[in-house]
Structure 1
Amino acid sequence: GRLKLMLKSVYRGFKYLRDSDLVDEDLRREYFSAGDLSDMQMERSVIALCQMLEQYHGVKPIVLIDEYDNPINNAFNRDFYAGVMGSLRRFYSLTLKGNLHMSFAVVTGVMQIAKESIFSGLNNLAVDNIFSNNFDERYGFTEPEVKDLCTYYGHPEKFEEAKEWYDGYRFGDADVYNPWSLLTYIYNDFEPGTYWADTSGNDILDVLLENADKDTNSVLVALGNGQAVVKGINPTVAMEDVGKKPTATYSIMAVTGYLNAVTEVDDICSLSIPNRELYKVFYDKVIDSVWRFDKDLFKPFFDSMENADVPKMEESLFMLFSKNFFDILLKDEADYRLVLATIALGRGGRYDVGIEREAGNGRADIIMRRNDPRYPNIVVELKKSRSKTDIFNTMEKEARKALTQIKTKEYYLGMKGKTYLYGVCFQNKKAKVLFEEMDL
């Protein structure tokens, strides 16, 4: 229904065709009538308009279709999806394949939907996507353009902030900035924010994350910790694969702007979170979706850790691991680390959170470098007790070993100011925590 209304509004822009003797009378009567379009008229409406324009002007027009994938994305995972796909498939195929009255067509959208899904029967499509070089600098602002914009609007000193928040995308061979976010940032007196994320729907991303397996969750945590991961990417998405194949997860996150993808070889890409805007989105959207936590569960844990309240920290950890929110079995240190590091990402604005990151003379389990001097730096080393007897003393001994490891390997090197060290030992859902404070 909405498509028919939209097409009627398109026709209203060409009222001069309705009264011209140069245009076929039957076509004028059929498409400029007051009544609703039938399904067949709707599917052939663009061809008919092209034919009338060619008759009037003597030139075959150019057809432009913007956001061709928008109705597909909006209908995805809903009961009317099949009907929408069927109507669009007929509409696009008739418009682009059987149209002898147009010069050529340009179709733009966010996702490259597989030809079999939507453009069936079309064999002469020339496709450019995020990996193509033909229009790489046309998708966003280049660095010299951003510098010029900041200077033109009176704040050349804001360039570094603009770069931190909105740079980081690679299209073809060009490094580009998000144009919508950058212009909105300038319009809002150079106040940074998640402007792009606030405009986009996330239905497909929700489905992808709800169906993510343990490996995908681990990759998302690594990405959230600033690491690049190497994965296969297929920019052409078959909608039936969404939520079923891990490649579809990474591919859609790349083509929709959640991840930056730099080609390593063939379809293998290095994936990373592009900028601070998307880190914020990642914390708010992806991490919450992956674990589906109630933030009231883990906030007490981090509050107690920032306040060096060890009894409260042990209690919070027990409450946390007593909840049935985990899809993984807590078998070893790596599983506990994965859970706590994922939750820690929610403190992303306050801390730079690292998981197994190089620090001092080794790799720290969890390292949280403060971004705000009001809070302490935090280093956590985890151990898993496997003892069946004398559990209390064993947990104490393992926690002491973890704390000693932090100091021996100097995981805190490079930190400044108040720094809290925590050695933690887990035995199933119980935790023993040892604490030491340093002033660096």
Structure 2
Amino acid sequence: MEKVISIGKQIGKQNFASLRENHYFFVDKSHFIKDWWENGDEITLITRPRRFGKTLNMSMLDCFFSNKYAARGDLFEGLGVWKEEKYRELQGKYPVIFLSFAAVKADQLSEAKIQIKQQIARVYEENRYLLDGDLLSGNEKKAYNEVNLHMGDAEAAAALNNMSMYLARYYGRRVIILLDEYDTPMQEAYVHGYWAEFTTFVRSLFNATFKTNPYLERAMMTGITRVSKESIFSDLNNLRVVTTSDLYADCFGFTEKEVFASLDEFGMGDKKDVVKQWYDGFIFGGHRDIYNPWSITNYLKEKKLRPYWADTSSNGLVGKLIRTASPEIKEYMEDLLNGQAVTVNFDEQMVFEQLDYNENVIWSLLLASGYLKAEEVEYRGITLKPWYQLRITNLETVSMFDDMFSGWFEASEAGYSSFVKALMQGDLEAMNYYMNKVSLATFSHFDVGGETNESLEPERFYHGFVLGLMAERAECYQIRSNRESGFGRYDVMMIPKNREKDPAIIIEFKVCSRVKKETLEDAVQEALKQIVDKKYDAELVALGVPQERIRHYGFAFAGKNVLIGAE
């Protein structure tokens, strides 16, 4: 690892040249240049979670290969790649086209296309010297000047291919194309409902830029998710996709050795254990101790444990998908919050259009986004389908899930925090008042579009309620839930971590039976009876909870109406 040069200056800068010129904090990842070049892949796609050093590495590739930096070998002096004469001679030798789709975020298709065309037009503006002299024909000059944000889709699709031809003709070398955050507009297209039309446009652009481009030397794309080949890469047979494998595993993020050396450099060597708990946990192939660089650099600067990485995104899509997911998905989330691993089967390729009907796609999104880590992958059956053993990545991502689940109930009209306070105080009247407000305000949030079976609503709400409760009271309670599918009964046991201070709470949920014409009052009594029949008290007493500190509550549901009783 390169020596930390400056402690007091800016951290988290993504422009390689500026970072090196100003002696900002930097961990040497220049071996990525050598690794990529020697692998020889024509087109490479690397996916990593957000804020994981992708943009900085792409900027580093630009500074190394681009002939615009031909006289800037000083940017690499002292770095690993500069030790080999072969690479010192390679620096600054290629024409490079460097684009980013990070800012392509639009509510509608037309705006998304304009924003991409704007990025392409910027490349043309940066290279207007090509119009000088007789390098381009009259028709080519005319076409060049017509490249702008209002050009047609066909012109936009061909524009980077044409620019590659112009640059190759001018410099006598084929071009390198770098595309950062390629998938940002894909997620926006899904969220805002123009996915199908948008992928048609992008597929044409990628085909012309990367497949039918004889002027292309190499290309690199980075992003968070691996969008399925069928969606936008169907024409690219020369694409090398790198997700969670060993390839380039230590080129993005910080290794434990790099983190510990940085902590020592900053005089914080005694914080290694707690930093590992908070920010370690990312796994790529056989590399198991990869740290999130955004969180580490901010911790070095602020010297405080905070969810720096988790705070850099709204997590809106992930939150919506979990909130409206089936009870089974929510049960898995309960297990994950309890520190357990879950084993699930899914395809790492992200098929956005399947999110509406194939719930397992959510695991691909959670893994690619860095919220979960794959501790093991087992290939089962004749077809060797991958089964992933997943776990929440680290304490920082636990805090992100906590905020997400408690946020489901934070609407001012819901009164969820008031309900939790009443529950802790044993105030039955207030519990009834606030729980009815909560159910009325939030039942629809857990609804899955297209289903109208009212009997499913309490179950969806129940699982959301348990996740919210786990997020709200995790510091004081171990929360266990038990689901009796098909019987309309679900229970929650809240086991206090401080047996002498806090009460133990048992909650039995019961859905009123329409067949039996059961009333809310009848259902409450049935729920309370279930608590006694299951002998939960004996289990709690065995755990050291005094009998007099065990509370029983029966929750009865009839539609969105709730009645709570106590014994």
User: TM over 0.5, yes or no?
Assistant: yes
Aligned length: 417
Contact 2:147–2:156 under 8 Å retained in 1: no
Report the aligned-residue RMSD. Answer: 3.9
Q: Residue 98 of structure 1 aligns with which residue?
A: 212
Q: What is the alpha-carbon distance in structure 1 between the residues aligned to residue 261 and residue 187 of structure 2?
A: 36
Q: Residue 145 of structure 1 aligns with which residue?
A: 258
Q: What is the alpha-carbon distance in structure 1 between the residues aligned to residue 549 and residue 297 of structure 2?
A: 41
Gap change, CA 1:399 and 1:305, over 3 Å in 2: farther
Q: Does residue 168 of the first structure (1) align with residue 281 of the second (2)?
A: yes
Q: Residue 3 of structure 1 aligns with which residue?
A: 116
Question: Where in structure 2 are the equivalents of 1:237-248 lying within 5 Å?
Answer: 237-248=350-361
Q: Does residue 401 of the first structure (1) align with residue 536 of the second (2)?
A: no
Q: Residue 422 of structure 1 aligns with which residue?
A: 551
1:211-245 deviation line (CA, Å, top 9, x unaligned): 41222222223323322211112111222101210
Gap change, CA 1:163 and 1:283, over 3 Å in 2: same
- 1:336 is displaced (CA, Å) by 9.2
- 1:89 is displaced (CA, Å) by 1.1
- 1:427 is displaced (CA, Å) by 4.9
Contact 2:176–2:219 under 8 Å retained in 1: yes
Unaligned segments of structure 2, at least 5 residues: 1-113, 380-385, 448-453, 483-490
Q: What is the alpha-carbon distance in structure 2 between the residues aligned to residue 403 and residue 296 of structure 1?
A: 32
Contact 1:76–1:203 under 8 Å retained in 2: no
Q: Does residue 433 of the first structure (1) align with residue 566 of the second (2)?
A: yes
Q: Residue 467 of structure 2 aligns with which residue?
A: 342
Q: Does residue 55 of the first structure (1) align with residue 169 of the second (2)?
A: yes
Contact 1:212–1:243 under 8 Å retained in 2: no
Contact 1:211–1:244 under 8 Å retained in 2: no
Q: Does residue 255 of the first structure (1) align with residue 364 of the second (2)?
A: no
Q: Percent identity?
A: 23
Q: Residue 118 of structure 1 aligns with which residue?
A: 232
Q: 1:303 aligns with which of 399, 402, 421?
A: 421
Gap change, CA 1:27 and 1:242, over 3 Å in 2: farther
Normalising by the residue count of structure 1, what TM-score does the alignment of the two structures yield?
0.80
Normalising by the residue count of structure 2, what TM-score does the alignment of the two structures yield?
0.64
Q: Secondary structure at 1:223's aligned position in 2?
A: helix
Which deviates more, 50-59 or 336-345?
336-345
Name which structure has the greater RCO, CA cutoff 8 Å, separation 6+.
Answer: 2
1:153-204 deviation line (CA, Å, top 9, x unaligned): 22222323322222222121212111222222323x1223333233335454
Contact 2:344–2:388 under 8 Å retained in 1: yes
Question: Where in structure 2 are the equivalents of 1:123-272 lying within 5 Å?
Answer: 123-130=237-244, 132-175=245-288, 176-187=290-301, 189-200=302-313, 202=315, 204-206=317-319, 208-209=321-322, 211-266=324-379, 267-272=386-391
1:281-313 deviation line (CA, Å, top 9, x unaligned): 212225645x79767433223212333445544
Contact 2:199–2:232 under 8 Å retained in 1: yes
Q: What is the alpha-carbon distance in structure 2 between the residues aligned to residue 393 and residue 8 of structure 1?
A: 67
Contact 2:406–2:469 under 8 Å retained in 1: no
Q: Residue 360 of structure 1 aligns with which residue?
A: none
Aligned AA (2:471)? G
Unaligned segments of structure 1, at least 5 residues: 358-363, 435-440
- 1:68 is displaced (CA, Å) by 0.9
Q: Residue 280 of structure 1 aligns with which residue?
A: 399
1:365-411 deviation line (CA, Å, top 9, x unaligned): 433555xx8x9445323446899899699679748838974355536
1:247-289 deviation line (CA, Å, top 9, x unaligned): 1111111111222223331211112221222222212225645
- 1:133 is displaced (CA, Å) by 1.4
Q: What is the alpha-carbon distance in structure 2 between the residues aligned to residue 288 and residue 108 of structure 1?
A: 31
Contact 1:399–1:432 under 8 Å retained in 2: no
